[in-house]
Amino acid sequence: MELVFFDANCRLGRTAAPRPEARRETADIAAELVHCGIRRALCYHALAREYAPAVGNALLQQEIVRHKSGGPEFVPGWVLLPPETREQGPLADQILQMRAARVRAVRLFPAEHQWRLNEWNAGRLLEMLESQLLPTFIDLDQTDFDAVAAVCQQYSLLPLVLLRVGYRTCRYLYPLLEKHPNLHLDISLFQAHGAIEEVCERFGPDRLLFATGLPVVAPGPAVAQVTYADISEEQKSLLAGGNLSRLLEAAYGN
């Protein structure tokens, strides 16, 4: 069975202070994806994190349009903020804009953007994301496990994807996976011995998503993790791209 890889964590655009190995244009990232056999990539723009989400989201759409012909498919994921400061307009308008732009996933950076992933600060945003079944991606360094647990419990229909979970986090993750079926994990740094196999056996293969972390992280090791995992070919297919495709297709209740 040929594995169809769909990267759940890819960044486009230059950062304010790029590391030397990450000074890559979109064409370079596309070439790296092709080289590693990755057909699609869910992306956000660097300036949506480091400057202003509205500006970065607009630049992301422009970048995707410029690189539509040939190579891998770049799929947009917009960065959002809680609505109280009105930096991105009313939530209802954001939904209309995302649907028009075919955006089916959201990225949150609460630590970077100085807000908290809890009810008093982000309740209206999280309610909206849950009502639309929008897959919501958040890096572990942007929050903590207590906040993740609270969000999973209070917004139990929200597909929450925790990115860049390290190999020493299993004692936190396993109780969360057991209690909250809406929680999913990116496997790019999830390198504990036998962890992929154990999660598939105990919690099901639908909880894990293939991701690379391009352009900072080389994609080859993530591809190898799935390719050589001691699981069935059907389970590998879900991890490689089937799970992410399913989450995106279910957005907006479609």
Instruction: Locate the domains of the chain by residue range.
Output: 5-253
pLDDT tens by residue, 204-218: 999 999 999 999 888
Share of the chain above pLDDT 90, in %: 87
pLDDT of 21:
63
Share the mean pLDDT of the chain.
94
Confidence of residue 16 (pLDDT cuts 50, 70, 90): confident
Confidence of residue 167 (pLDDT cuts 50, 70, 90): confident
Mean predicted confidence (pLDDT) in 77-81: 98
**Residues sharing a CB contact under 8 Å with residue 65, sequence separation 6 or more, in sequence order:** none
Q: Is the dihedral of CA 228, 231, 232, 234 positive or negative?
A: negative
pLDDT of 70:
72
**Residues sharing a CB contact under 8 Å with residue 193, sequence separation 6 or more, in sequence order:** none
For the cut 90, the answer to whether the pLDDT of residue 18 exceeds it is no
- Top mean pLDDT of 23-27, 86-90, 108-112, 164-168 is at 108-112
**How far is the C-alpha of 71 from the C-alpha of 68, rounded, in Å?**
8
Nearest one of 231, 215, 241, 174 to 38, comparing CA atoms: 241
Which CATH number among 3.90.190.10, 3.20.20.140, 3.40.50.970, 1.10.540.10 corresponds to the domain 5-253?
A: 3.20.20.140
- In the chain, the amino acid numbered 209 is L
**How far is the C-alpha of 237 from the C-alpha of 227, rounded, in Å?**
9
pLDDT of 193:
86
The pTM score is 0.95
Tell me if 13 sits within 8 A of 46, measured CB to CB. yes
pLDDT of 40:
97
**How far is the C-alpha of 123 from the C-alpha of 115, rounded, in Å?**
12
> 244: how many CB neighbours lie within 10 A of its CB?
26
pLDDT of 209:
98
Q: State how far the alpha carbon of 12 is from the alpha carbons of 16, 111, 136, 223, in Å.
A: 13, 20, 18, 20
Written as six digits, the tokens of 171 are: 């004692």
